[in-house]
Structure 1
Amino acid sequence: MKRALAIAIALLLPAGAFAQQTLAGPSELKNAIQDVLEAFHEDYGFPGATVAVVNRTGDIDTVAVGMADVEANTPMRPESRMLAASIGKTVWGALTLSLEADGSLDRSDLVSVYLGSQPWFAHLPNADTMTVGQLLTHTSGLPDHVHMDGAAEALIALGETSPFDPAKAVALVLDAPPLFEAGTAWAYTDTGYLLLGLVIEAATGESVFSLAQDRLLAPVGLRSTTPSDAPELEGLAVGYTTPDNPFGLPVRTMDETGKLTWNPAIEWTGGGFASTSADLALWGNALFTGRVLPSDYLPDLRDGVSVHADAPGVFYGSGVAIYQGTPYGTVLGHGGWIPGYVSSLRHYADHDLTIAFQINSDVGVVDDSTDLVPALEAALAEVVLGTASQ
């Protein structure tokens, strides 16, 4: 249900239950970010967006533009939440490393150790050879169930049953040929991350979302990040999609009562969270500077595989894209797409600076007809890193 991270081979709440962290006051940097976002809003015509920047001292600047609900004339605010989609993979990567550190599982383990007793498991491509680590790095050879024939209709139907059963989504690839032998190449697959979630639950006997909250999100202080496991999510901005979207959704993906017209639970551990740009930036800054786990996990997090021979310097680690040799040095992060929303999370390691943004529309992004996401990433990096260096 997400775009493959915009892995850039061409070189993402109201007061009360979701109270947001105190934000920095007006500043030259904040004004510069606002100017960039307003210019993009005018040029690209999306409904609304938020941007957050966390610097090396942990200060955060957040801005917003446009509308969270066009029809109701509700402005977008820094605390407006949106679906973060595949950025959630950074959480599942960190959780896997956390469980490995305490001996609950190992990345070298065969997936069959945990799921081999399931009656459907033997029908998976590379069932006998793929490892937990290969699920993490998209080197399992599994197809992506989201792009199988009939997947859109099947997933929407699965979302109508409660609770959502991720094994039924995995079933979309059963008996399909593998894309390649496990461990020999790279191909982005949400199916691998659904299997990773099932592995984690089998290894621990606990809910993946409870583990993520207790081990990662709560300690970092992410008060606006919650599982996107139901159509009704508090504080969610309305998402807007294309009339001819593959899931047959209305352009406005939320009804007048604030309920999504589909169930985002079908994403499960392919992503799985609603969040704010501020929370995403705080999470990325903590994760990529080594402050999320007590162990020295950064080498394992950044132990990546090459994405493609035509994209030298682009790697994928444990739930994280790694860009080496960019004009700003090494960049770590992830992107996210889900109907009605796009998100970006990028950490500039050489500058100890993290930028996240969210947009409540996937128009032009889902069909590759716009350069909005990479263009906004580049513009924000230029203005933020330029301002930060002054």
Structure 2
Amino acid sequence: MTCVAQRIAALSVSLITSVHPVLAEARSAGSAVRQVLAEFHETYRFPGATVAYATEDGTVEAFAIGYADVEAGIPMTPESRMLAASIGKTVWGALVLSLEADGILARSDLVSDYLGDRPWYARVPNAAEITIEQLVNHTSGLPDHVHMEGVADELIELGEGEFDPVDLITFILDEPPLFQAGSGWDYSDTGYVLLGLAIEAATGEDVFDLARDRFLTPLRLRSTDPSLEPRIDGLAVGYTDEGNLFGLRPRTMDRNGHLAWNPVVEWTGGGFVSTSSDLAVWGRDLFSGRAMDRPYIDDLLDGVPVHPDMPDVLYGSGVAVYQTGPFGPVYGHGGWIPGYVSSLRHYADHGLTIAFQINTDLGVVDDSTDLVPALEAALAEAILGAPD
């Protein structure tokens, strides 16, 4: 057994907890969450995890288990940060609505209105037809560069020098569109990179500065920052599969705290490091209408079907919308990036938001484990009780 495996196998199931404020009902829910987290840790043997939930009355409770650094024996704490990956799309979708409310852009605008003068733009699939909204809800017909053959290795190399997000767009130039813009649905990180470029062109500002000024700072998300460099304070070590697409070592961070790759290459495909507590607060505020000083929920949740076989699952302005479920409608997003998985779920009928982060993606990318959906379901039941 390897040193890493020995540490994980021998790890006590005791949990570190951070609470503010604590109510009688929160204590009861907290005990149930501790038990779920301990059981999942014992069953799935992930290195470490954090979980947090937030309610509309202001309760925020956070938990941690396992190791933030297995080899060094550093425990995971509620303050441990991890890469949130595509949960960042909830920020960018909200930013579009915020800018639209200020009259800076409109979702119906053609992307060519902002990027059409760039020498490369005409080579983008569906270049003349794509709208801002189609980038936001993944109906642009753009391929997803992340999963194109041979791109993974090149992404790692892109982060080693001076980074230009346009370099990410070059992977899809002259490629055929997946479908006519607006006529289908297919998830595309490339579309969100193009969205980031369009936002910067429309505003003349850095897109991450806009996110910080409009959301992160006003909502006091103090543990959330752009993930734009390989060294990030407070980042838990991420562990990945030895045969991962990116050719990374299983431990994705060196002994000096530097990632073996630069997460800047994700850019506005996600783009943030966070804690489960901050993610839960963000989800609570976003989906309860508190993230902006004007009505926006209807626009946020105005989604398109993701697949004919799943008519109840929609994708709105950077958010997944599950219209039906055992606890009623659920809104949120998941996140995967080498070494980390994250989940954000808001249970609308109950005013409850749950987030978790795990510092490994083993088995998640190839769907060989049900860890993420199983933990989502177990946490919801632990807090809300068995569904009717």
Normalised to the residue count of structure 2, the TM-score between the two structures is 0.93
Cα distance in structure 2, aligned partners of 1:201 and 1:216: 17
1:56 equivalent in alignment to 2:56: yes
- Conserved in 1, the CA contact under 8 Å of 2:85 and 2:336? yes
Cα distance in structure 2, aligned partners of 1:161 and 1:384: 46
1:260 equivalent in alignment to 2:259: yes
Structure 2 partner of 1:129: 129
The one-letter code sitting in structure 2 at the alignment partner of 1:31 is S
Identity %: 65
Q: CA deviation at 1:30?
A: 1.0
Cα distance in structure 2, aligned partners of 1:325 and 1:242: 34
Cα distance in structure 2, aligned partners of 1:135 and 1:295: 23
Q: CA deviation at 1:23?
A: 2.8
Structure 1 partner of 2:5: none
CA deviations 1:251-271 (Å, max 9, x no partner) are 000000011000000000000
Cα distance in structure 2, aligned partners of 1:54 and 1:386: 16
Q: CA deviation at 1:81?
A: 0.2
CA deviations 1:36-94 (Å, max 9, x no partner) are 00100000010000000111202011111100000000000001000000000000001
Q: How does 1:326-365 map to 2 (within 5 A)?
A: 326-365=325-364
The one-letter code sitting in structure 2 at the alignment partner of 1:118 is R
Cα distance in structure 1, aligned partners of 2:313 and 2:93: 18
Selected match of 2:20 from 23, 26, 29? 23
Q: 3-state DSSP class of the match of 1:329?
A: coil
The one-letter code sitting in structure 1 at the alignment partner of 2:263 is P
Cα distance in structure 2, aligned partners of 1:143 and 1:73: 41
Structure 2 partner of 1:12: none
CA deviations 1:159-206 (Å, max 9, x no partner) are 1112x2111011100000000000011000000000000000000000
Q: Residues 64 and 24 from structure 1, CA distance in 2 versus in 1: closer, same or farther, beyond 3 angstroms?
A: farther
Structure 2 partner of 1:300: 299
Structure 2 partner of 1:250: 249
Structure 2 partner of 1:3: none
Structure 2 partner of 1:120: 120
Of 311-320 and 146-155, deviating more is: 146-155
Cα distance in structure 2, aligned partners of 1:56 and 1:119: 48
Q: CA deviation at 1:312?
A: 2.0
Structure 1 partner of 2:313: 314
Q: 3-state DSSP class of the match of 1:326?
A: coil
CA deviations 1:309-363 (Å, max 9, x no partner) are 1112000000000001111111000000000000000000010100000000000
1:80 equivalent in alignment to 2:80: yes
Q: CA deviation at 1:21?
A: 9.0
Cα distance in structure 2, aligned partners of 1:145 and 1:247: 13
Cα distance in structure 1, aligned partners of 2:64 and 2:240: 20
Cα distance in structure 2, aligned partners of 1:371 and 1:149: 26
Cα distance in structure 2, aligned partners of 1:140 and 1:167: 18
Q: 3-state DSSP class of the match of 2:341?
A: strand
Cα distance in structure 2, aligned partners of 1:189 and 1:259: 28
Structure 2 partner of 1:176: 175
Structure 2 partner of 1:205: 204
Structure 1, unmatched stretches of 5+, are 1-19
Q: 3-state DSSP class of the match of 1:195?
A: helix
Structure 2 partner of 1:7: none
Cα distance in structure 2, aligned partners of 1:23 and 1:177: 52
Structure 1 partner of 2:236: 237
Structure 2 partner of 1:155: 155
Cα distance in structure 1, aligned partners of 2:210 and 2:18: 23
Q: CA deviation at 1:99?
A: 0.3
- Conserved in 1, the CA contact under 8 Å of 2:18 and 2:63? no
Q: 3-state DSSP class of the match of 2:279?
A: helix
- Conserved in 1, the CA contact under 8 Å of 2:36 and 2:379? yes
Cα distance in structure 1, aligned partners of 2:384 and 2:119: 52
Cα distance in structure 2, aligned partners of 1:283 and 1:23: 16
Looking at both structures, which has the greater relative contact order when contacts are Cα pairs under 8 Å and sequence separation is at least 6?
A: 1
Count of residue pairs brought into register by the alignment: 368
1:46 equivalent in alignment to 2:46: yes
Cα distance in structure 1, aligned partners of 2:58 and 2:244: 39
Cα distance in structure 2, aligned partners of 1:382 and 1:310: 26
Cα distance in structure 2, aligned partners of 1:80 and 1:112: 41
- Conserved in 1, the CA contact under 8 Å of 2:279 and 2:355? yes
Structure 1 partner of 2:276: 277
The one-letter code sitting in structure 1 at the alignment partner of 2:110 is L
Cα distance in structure 1, aligned partners of 2:312 and 2:326: 12
Q: How does 1:371-386 map to 2 (within 5 A)?
A: 371-386=370-385
Q: CA deviation at 1:22?
A: 6.2
- Conserved in 1, the CA contact under 8 Å of 2:110 and 2:130? yes
Q: 3-state DSSP class of the match of 2:49?
A: strand
- Conserved in 1, the CA contact under 8 Å of 2:68 and 2:80? yes
- Conserved in 1, the CA contact under 8 Å of 2:125 and 2:177? yes
Cα distance in structure 2, aligned partners of 1:51 and 1:224: 15
Q: 3-state DSSP class of the match of 2:333?
A: strand
Structure 2, unmatched stretches of 5+, are 1-16
Q: CA deviation at 1:250?
A: 0.4
Structure 1 partner of 2:6: none
- Conserved in 1, the CA contact under 8 Å of 2:18 and 2:78? no
Q: CA deviation at 1:386?
A: 1.5
Structure 2 partner of 1:111: 111
Q: 3-state DSSP class of the match of 1:220?
A: coil
1:220 equivalent in alignment to 2:216: no
- Conserved in 1, the CA contact under 8 Å of 2:18 and 2:62? no
Q: 3-state DSSP class of the match of 1:216?
A: helix
Q: 3-state DSSP class of the match of 2:260?
A: coil
